[in-house]
Every structure is written in structure tokens, then in C-alpha cells.
Structure 1
Amino acid sequence: MKAYPGNITPQDFDHYVFLQPEQFRSSLVRLREIILSVVPQAEETISYQIPCFKYLYLLVGVGTNKKFCSFYTMNPALVKEMAGELQRVRVSGATIHLKPDEPLPVELLIKIVKARMVQNEQIALTKRNK
């Protein structure tokens, strides 16, 4: 987890962005815009001190580290399935790390968010049928 000055815990997405270095802010806001354009009903929340978006369950999250913006897919298997499309970016487990000035193509972000929606819908259906 990221340590914030004075033990400040971000309260919501806007507060999280405010706490980040300037070079990351526009990338985080753009990620949010793309996610909400695909899933306008997504609930924004803070989980593990990062902004996350819920659609039935946790869908995706966004964050930063010293060098990168991070896009948390919350599903390592999905990242492995999409390895060919993610060759030009740094990937660690279920996380895609992006330089602020080198964003992931919008179409690819949309594809990931839609895939995660389907996965969450399948989980919900499975739980409902038990």
C-alpha cells in the first residue's frame, strides 16, 4: 500500500487524484472517464487505498507508483489471455503499468473492462444458481 503524507487515506476518487503527483492526474482522470463510459452504473469506491470500480463485484482499479499509472484488471488470467495485445506495456500479475505519457489504447481498455463485466456477471449468475 502507498503511504500518504500525514497518514492521509484517500476518501474517494477525486481525493486520490488530488494526492498524486501532477504528472499522473490527467491519466487517472482519463482512465476513470473510459471506465465510466463503458459501465456508467459502476460504483466508485476506495479499496486497499486505491480507486476501484464495482459492477456486481470489484471490476477494475487505478492507481500510481513512483513511475507509472497502474490499471488493475483484478484478473491475472485475463491479462495472460491478452498477452499478445499487451506486449508493449509493463505487466505484473493482473496489473498493467502505464507511463503517464504513453496511455494504453482506448479500444484495449474498453475491451478489458467489458471482459471484466462479463466475468462478474458470470460469477453473479453462478452464485445465484447455487
Structure 2
Amino acid sequence: MRTRQGAGYGNLVHFAAFKAHIGFYPGAAGIAAFESELQAYQHAKGSVQFPLGQPLPLELVKRIVRFRRAENLNKAAQKSAKK
């Protein structure tokens, strides 16, 4: 499983290739924030499966990664403010 990290952002998403799909793992908040747009795909609390026979929804993936980056930056700012 591969992990996409942003410089200073921590882990953003994980992904893996399987026999019939690409597994994309943005975490529970990433799925919840885009639940209506993920209805066309099999998904669970923190993961979504993109079938290999269909085009990858790249714009949706980009928006989810940006959401996760903002989420991580917010967490880092809150952590920094506590110091």
C-alpha cells in the first residue's frame, strides 16, 4: 500500500491496486465529506473502491486530497496553538 504525504502535511491518503479495483483510503472524514459523490462506488467508513474497468475520477480524488491536506493543517495549527 502506498501513502501520499504532503511536505509538512503528514499522511494524506493511502492507495493500493487489487485484481478488480483501486483501493483509495482517505480516512473516515475524507469519505464522510464526499459521501454523496462516492455513491456510485463501493465504499466503507474510510475507503472507496474504484473499479479498474472505469475511468478514475481524478477531479474527485484531487478534491479529497485537498480536503485531507486542509484537515491536517487545521490539526497542526490546533496542536501548535496549545503549546
TM-score normalised per structure 2: 0.84
Q: Report deviation, 1:103.
A: 3.2
- What residue number does 2:49 align with? 97
- What residue number does 1:60 align with? 13
Is the counterpart of residue 129 in structure 1 residue 43 in structure 2? no
More strand by share: 2
- What residue number does 1:51 align with? 2
Q: Report deviation, 1:123.
A: 0.9
Instruction: State how far apart, in whole Å, the 1-side matches of 2:16 and 2:29 are.
Output: 20
1:42-83 deviation per Cα after TM superposition (whole angstroms, max 9, x unaligned): xxxxxxxx1101122110111023421111112x12312211
Gaps of 5+ in 2: none
- What residue number does 2:30 align with? 78
Instruction: State how far apart, in whole Å, the 1-side matches of 2:17 and 2:23 are.
Output: 5
Other structure's SS at 2:3 match = strand
By relative contact order (CA 8 Å, sep 6+), the higher-ranking structure is 2
Higher Cα radius of gyration:
1
Q: 4+ residue stretches of structure 1 with deviation over 2 A?
A: 64-67
TM-score normalised per structure 1: 0.56
Q: Write the letter of the residue equivalent to 1:84.
A: S
